[in-house]
Structure 1
Amino acid sequence: MQINELLVGDPAPALEIECFLKGKPIQRFERGSVYVIEFWATWCAPCKASIPHLSSLQQHYPEVCILGIAVGWKDADIVEVFVREQGDAISYRIALDRAGNPGERYSRSRLVWCEAAYQQGVPSAFIVDRDGRIAWMGHPQEIDHALSAIVNGDWDLEQEAEAHRRWLTDSRVREARRMEATVSRLLAEDRRADAIAVYHEAFGAYPVLEASYGLAYFKLLLAQTGDAAMNYAHRLVNEIYPESFPALLYVAERLLEKTVLPERDGLARESADLALLALLKLESVLSTEANTDMKVQMRISCAISEALLTLGNIAEARVRMIAVQELSAKLGEAPVQRVEELLSRISANAGALPMECDGNICIPAADRKIGL
């Protein structure tokens, strides 16, 4: 199905609804009324987290019609039960999006609203103004200012439309979507090398895309032989994502996977070296945050221990894993399988640990340092 681009300032497309599950059905956008159209799914945690906010907005703006359209559903009964169990927690209208045509990936309204507007994830929200035009689009948790201004007549739609089009151009959103479509088609045809070439060419032509798609490119490179993945990993760690928590952790953990069955001599050590650099950068980034999740700390320490083991630094790896055990005990959780595996590897290499003897007892020097 051919869809037209949907931008701020454009007329709102018609809604294609399977059925309404809550509230009075609406057939069309009435001139003089403001609407909030939110696309959500029962399996989406951020969508569920937005429910109280949208309900609060509905209570604050009773004259605004807020409609949550459920997408990505396979069984309507599941959505209906979810809405019923929410009860008064949902104080706005809820409907099911109409199923897409055979062979189409998305349901009907999601296709002509979200996909046409480059809003690929859920939740996604739109405000339709009193003239039936798209006045704003984005995440429902960020809707407050725009909704207030639109309701009060203070929204400069022409200025917002111009800003939206400028953002699309500067961010190369259209080019990104074309690239995604081409890569998806090539991978479906098992043309991995061609997909890699598409990423490479796109990054050269539009450098702004690399921060968003570098990890996807790296993932494809990892499946190739040769040094391309390792060379690109250096760029990711040192230039593209030097302070990005999820990106550094992803790159480090993938590098550590390459230490298990290295393709060439020296690759395991090089991979572990770079993984360790990424993980230490990550620790530095997180050290400035007040409330770092202890489970995240454990995951990072496990990865650092694995890198240290590969590099032959068994003593430091042991110290790290003892710290993980202590964190696990503090959380009242049993050690995860990876912790036990790493401890077994450390024990298997215990002969390589520097030892300190006291009388007739010898213990690893690392244990002496931490007071065991």
Structure 2
Amino acid sequence: MKHQLSIGSPAPSIKMLAWLQGAPMPVFQPGWIYILVYLSTTCGCCETALSDLETLQEMYRDIGVEVIGVVAKEPAPTADEARSLVETWLADRLSNSDVRIAYDYTGEMDKHWMDASLSFWVPQAFVVSRNGTIAYIGDPNSLECILDHVVDGSWDSSAEAREAEKERLAECEVYELERALEIQIASAIEVRDWKRALSATKEAIKSIPDNPTFREAHVELLMRKLHDFEAGWIALGRFARGAIERNSADWLLAAMRQLFCSPYEYSSLPFAERFSMGKELSDCILRLCPQQDALSRAESYQTIASYYHENGEKSRAVELVEQALALVQGETLSDDVKQEWIADLMCVLGKYKH
């Protein structure tokens, strides 16, 4: 898919929006800067993002900056049900917000804003400059650093803006390719054509070698579907060594999950080599933990705890899960997200203590 909306493009219409909070606004007003942010009722970090943007709105409102929240593509069979879903979410989570909120069930906002800009994630921010053109597309968390430049008109034509947009589009194009490859793999798996799925997975690894998800899928197909433990062990060993060389948390955690957290017949794998590899991965993950945020550390602790538990170091496994639990409990999260984390960790803790 080719992008049609980028920095410098005229801002698309918002006339299709149904306004739920704040006065209706069918068009952008000349001379104002608008931060239009895409939200979702199922997005765990959207509330925080909107709250942060509301703070920016308060700081800059006197010089003509306003935030607009847009909810679209909600999983409901009718427009009325979608509206009710969004209204309930607003009442529960954003009742004190001073931001205009609208929703769209027609698909037009998605088509002309998200799809046209190759945007796939929420929250996603679009900044409309005073002259009605797009000044920024991307993560709303980055706006605090650039908003002064947008306000004084220096951002749109800057080399920094062009480079940021170039990087964004490159990431989006990779993501689009990833989705196409995932569909190929999933379609083969759906009809239980394991050989075609394996071939598609190998092609995905070749096309996007930096994506650990395809490596995990490769190992899983060999181990669970084809029961080729010799080839599976070779692929898993190569995956783990690559993770250690990259020293990437995503890769290390993915490799550890394959070694100790998956429903494989681990008795078919070399015992000593598996635990030696687990120890090396665990040490690498622990060295990265001080650089991680609280939830990432919690995930790391929970993942490596499986290695310690299976290795007979049950007290260490319990200690790690308890540390993960404390980190999650100390975080500011929506109730449902926090409770899901806590329930999962408590289940693991109960298993390790018995």
TM over 0.5, yes or no? Answer: yes
Distance (Å, rounded) in 1 between the aligned partners of 2:185 and 2:300: 38
- CA shift digits 1:336-371 (9 cap, x unpaired): 444554565xxxxxxxxxxxxxxxxxxxxxxxxxxx
- Cα distance, 1:133 vs structure 2: 1.9
Change (3 A) 1:178 1:248: closer
Change (3 A) 1:128 1:238: same
> What secondary structure sits across from 2:282 in the alignment?
helix
Which of residues 95, 103, 107 is equivalent to 2:102? 95
- Cα distance, 1:268 vs structure 2: 5.1
2:316 aligned with 1:320, yes or no? Answer: yes
Match of 2:150 in 1: 150
- For the 8 Å contact 1:305–1:318, the answer to whether it is kept is yes
- CA shift digits 1:193-226 (9 cap, x unpaired): 4455445445545xxx433x22234224312233
2:53 aligned with 1:58, yes or no? Answer: no
Change (3 A) 1:293 1:185: closer
- When the two structures are aligned, how many residues end up with a matched partner? 323
- CA shift digits 1:17-72 (9 cap, x unpaired): 34100112222334433221100012212101112212112222222232100124
Distance (Å, rounded) in 2 between the aligned partners of 1:175 and 1:329: 35
Change (3 A) 1:288 1:146: closer
Distance (Å, rounded) in 2 between the aligned partners of 1:326 and 1:130: 51
> What secondary structure sits across from 1:130 in the alignment?
coil
- For the 8 Å contact 1:16–1:98, the answer to whether it is kept is no
> What secondary structure sits across from 1:21 in the alignment?
strand
- For the 8 Å contact 2:212–2:251, the answer to whether it is kept is no
Change (3 A) 1:149 1:229: farther
Match of 2:338 in 1: none
Distance (Å, rounded) in 2 between the aligned partners of 1:121 and 1:33: 26
Identity %: 19
Counting only pairs closer than 5 Å after superposition, residues 220-259 of structure 1 correspond to structure 2 as 220-224=218-222, 225=226, 226=228, 227-240=230-243, 242-257=246-261
- For the 8 Å contact 2:253–2:300, the answer to whether it is kept is no
> What secondary structure sits across from 2:135 in the alignment?
strand
State the superposition RMSD in angstroms. 3.8
- Cα distance, 1:91 vs structure 2: 1.4
- Cα distance, 1:145 vs structure 2: 2.9
Counting only pairs closer than 5 Å after superposition, residues 358-369 of structure 1 correspond to structure 2 as none
Distance (Å, rounded) in 1 between the aligned partners of 2:348 and 2:205: 36
2:72 aligned with 1:71, yes or no? Answer: yes
Distance (Å, rounded) in 2 between the aligned partners of 1:340 and 1:279: 22
Distance (Å, rounded) in 2 between the aligned partners of 1:132 and 1:52: 25
- What amino acid sits opposite 1:82 in the alignment? W
- Cα distance, 1:180 vs structure 2: 1.9
- Single out whichever of 38-47 and 142-151 deviates more from structure 2: 142-151
Match of 2:333 in 1: none
Change (3 A) 1:137 1:145: same
2:87 aligned with 1:80, yes or no? Answer: yes
- CA shift digits 1:283-322 (9 cap, x unpaired): 22225679798855762453122442xxxxx4xx245356
Q: List gaps (5 residues or longer) in structure 2.
A: 77-81, 330-341
- What amino acid sits opposite 2:33 in the alignment? V
Q: List gaps (5 residues or longer) in structure 1.
A: 101-107, 309-313, 345-372
Change (3 A) 1:118 1:261: same
